[in-house]
Amino acid sequence: MSSREQLIKYTSIVPSTVQKSIQRENFNAFIHYGINTFAGKEWSDGTLSPDLFNPTEQDAEQWVKVLKYVGVKGIIFTAKHHDGFCMWQTDTTEYSVKNSPYKGGKGDVVKELSDACKKHGMKFGIYLSPWDRNSKYYSTDKYDDFYCAQLTELLTRYGDIFCVWLDGACGAESDGKKKQVYDFQRYYALIRKLSPKTVISNCGPDVRWVGNEGGFAREGEFNVIPRLAVSEEAIMEDSQKSEKQNMKLLVEKDILAKELGDRSQLDQYDSFVWSPAEVDVSIRPGWFYHKSQDHRVRSVRNLMNIYYGAVGGNSLLLLNVPPDKTGRINDVDVARLIKFGDRIRADFSSPVSIDKITAPEHESSNKIRNVTVYSYNKNSFDANSYYTPKNEAENYEINILFDKQYNVDKIKLVENVAFSQRIEAFSIFAKVNGVFKKVYDGKTIGYGRIALLKRAILTDEIKIVIDKCRLKPYIEYIGVYQKEKQSIFKKLFK
């Protein structure tokens, strides 16, 4: 049993500004595109000829427009995958688009995409694989200089970079090479110096890999976790070391998906960090495009499940959409993505109208009515207004009365993470024929829980009970949504 001192310590851990920004805009896209696309490979060994890279209709604006329609806020692009082939006009190596036939060697895919992102109000980020199978410096003490020179080019030539995604995967030993010891602290310091607002993900201090690539989020996702759980060594140890393992992680629910950060675990440590989890998953079986997988693009239902699990489960979602050999996102994926975007919007298009909301007496001006403030158009909550009770209690009951009966199927809940993550268990009851019936049992809330009811329920009153909490709760938002009445697909195809 955690002591009060321990709970005070856990609740003193809060997100940094950079972490808050990505938790608010928690749905982003990955684009895996490079020499592998043209060779039909997932991992290539750094010896493929740059001649292979020759898209005929490359259109970065198409990528951005499609992804914007889906609702993603930022795009993270594979500027360099493990093969070492650079997608920009780099001065650090000859293995790049500058020696490919694309635009007579004058093409710069990083620039094309960053320009398209700027034009369409999309954030732009880069994936720069630390593992480099082409570089002559790899496995030598010159490699960190080489990698930092690449980072510097990318962070100084293309405007704002919202995220640098550092992959922990490395198969150098199976290549017969000495494992490179990366100077991660130097990479982080360089990124912070050149671009202080950039989020450093995966093998980095700001965002943590959820532990699988199959789209599975944890049911109870805590942001306050033991510091030891996010050491670079631990992440690299758990990352892929062979192509076989890479493919395995794409489909399996890895053991790493076990919960981190509940009280019983925290009680064993004395140093903690704020660490949001990210679910990175591909719309196809592979990260790169393969024609043979055109019939295996994820269904809208599957994408929605992933969306609700991740965005609705206090995690970030990073959905990979790989352009094909022409340099465009394939029509199959485009059609799926359009329906996916429509489905997300439709699911949140009908909030119920709340007549009365009551809760235990509030502290100062932090009254319960504050939690209903939400600007749908801006897709944001008012983070400065929240509810917190005056006194700590065993549990907290919030009653919500609607103006009439609605067919409710989801409730969105947000904690104000400026006060850490506190709620550990909650339940939702709906009044049916004058009697409250339990309709949902939940664990964590954090920055976003979408409580999806097993079936829609016709009701004019619900009750949310916070059953377990670290000290007292700080709630930023509660939204109750009706089941979308008309099938979105009918609307699309009529």
Q: How far apart are CA 470 and CA 232, in angstroms?
A: 29
Q: How far apart are CA 315 and CA 309, in angstroms?
A: 8
Residue 201 interacts with ligand FUL (CB under 6 A)?
Answer: no
- In this complex, which beta carbon is closest to ligand FUL, that of residue 253 or of residue 491? 253
Beta strand residue intervals within 97-175, DSSP E: 123-128, 163-166
In angstroms, give the least distance from the CB of 211 to ligand FUL: 12
In angstroms, give the least distance from the CB of 412 to ligand FUL: 28
b/e map of 210-221 (b: 16 or more CB within 10 Å)?
bbbbbbbbbebb
Stretch that binds ligand FUL, among 53-61, 238-246, 308-316, 342-350 (CB under 6 A): 238-246
- In this complex, which beta carbon is closest to ligand FUL, that of residue 325 or of residue 472? 325
In angstroms, give the least distance from the CB of 345 to ligand FUL: 27
Whether 457 contacts 399, CB under 8 Å: no
In angstroms, give the least distance from the CB of 171 to ligand FUL: 8
- In this complex, which beta carbon is closest to ligand FUL, that of residue 15 or of residue 309? 309
Which residues 6+ apart lie within 8 Å of 209 measured at CB? 168, 202, 235, 238, 239, 277, 278, 280
Beta strand residue intervals within 8-111, DSSP E: 27-31, 74-80
Q: Which of 23, 240, 416, 444 binds ligand FUL (CB under 6 A)?
A: 240
Residue 287 interacts with ligand FUL (CB under 6 A)?
Answer: yes
Cβ burial, residue 57 (10 Å; 0-12/13-18/19+) = exposed
Binding mask 24-63 for ligand FUL (x = CB under 6 A): ------------------x---------------------
* Nearest residue to ligand FUL, scored by beta-carbon proximity: 169
- In this complex, which beta carbon is closest to ligand FUL, that of residue 19 or of residue 246? 246
Q: Which of 108, 153, 167, 333 binds ligand FUL (CB under 6 A)?
A: 167
Residue 134 interacts with ligand FUL (CB under 6 A)?
Answer: no
Angle at 73 between CA 70 and CA 78, to 5 degrees: 95
User: For residue 136, what is the DSSP state?
Assistant: T
- In this complex, which beta carbon is closest to ligand FUL, that of residue 23 or of residue 239? 239
Which amino acid is residue 4, in one-letter code? R
- In this complex, which beta carbon is closest to ligand FUL, that of residue 135 or of residue 416? 135
User: For residue 21, what is the DSSP state?
Assistant: H
In angstroms, give the least distance from the CB of 165 to ligand FUL: 8
Q: How far apart are CA 96 and CA 84, in angstroms?
A: 8
- In this complex, which beta carbon is closest to ligand FUL, that of residue 131 or of residue 158? 131
- In this complex, which beta carbon is closest to ligand FUL, that of residue 45 or of residue 145? 45
In angstroms, give the least distance from the CB of 168 to ligand FUL: 7
In angstroms, give the least distance from the CB of 2 to ligand FUL: 35
Q: Which of 23, 96, 100, 239 binds ligand FUL (CB under 6 A)?
A: 239
Sign of the four-CA dihedral 444, 449, 454, 460: positive
Residue 169 interacts with ligand FUL (CB under 6 A)?
Answer: yes
Residue 246 interacts with ligand FUL (CB under 6 A)?
Answer: yes
In angstroms, give the least distance from the CB of 167 to ligand FUL: 5
Please state, in angstroms and as integers, the Cα–Cα distance from residue 452 to each residue in 154, 280, 413, 428, following that order. 41, 22, 11, 11
Whether 132 contacts 80, CB under 8 Å: yes
Stretch that binds ligand FUL, among 16-24, 215-223, 239-247, 323-331 (CB under 6 A): 239-247
Q: What are phi and psi of 271, to 5 degrees?
A: -130, 130
Question: Scanning the structure block, which residue is given the tokens 């604006």?
Answer: 61
User: For residue 229, what is the DSSP state?
Assistant: G
Residue 478 interacts with ligand FUL (CB under 6 A)?
Answer: no
Q: Which of 153, 232, 280, 484 binds ligand FUL (CB under 6 A)?
A: 280
In angstroms, give the least distance from the CB of 280 to ligand FUL: 5
In angstroms, give the least distance from the CB of 281 to ligand FUL: 9
User: For residue 433, what is the DSSP state?
Assistant: T
477: helix, strand or coil:
strand
In angstroms, give the least distance from the CB of 81 to ligand FUL: 6
Residue 150 interacts with ligand FUL (CB under 6 A)?
Answer: no
Cβ burial, residue 59 (10 Å; 0-12/13-18/19+) = middle
- In this complex, which beta carbon is closest to ligand FUL, that of residue 169 or of residue 321? 169
Residues binding ligand FUL: what is the number (CB under 6 A)?
Answer: 8
User: For residue 336, what is the DSSP state?
Assistant: H
First-to-final CA distance of the chain: 58
In angstroms, give the least distance from the CB of 285 to ligand FUL: 12
Angle at 51 between CA 46 and CA 52, to 5 degrees: 70
- In this complex, which beta carbon is closest to ligand FUL, that of residue 214 or of residue 351? 214
In angstroms, give the least distance from the CB of 235 to ligand FUL: 10
Question: Scanning the structure block, which residue is given the tokens 């465009």?
Answer: 328
Interface with ligand FUL by CB under 6 A: which residues? 42, 167, 169, 239-240, 246, 280, 287
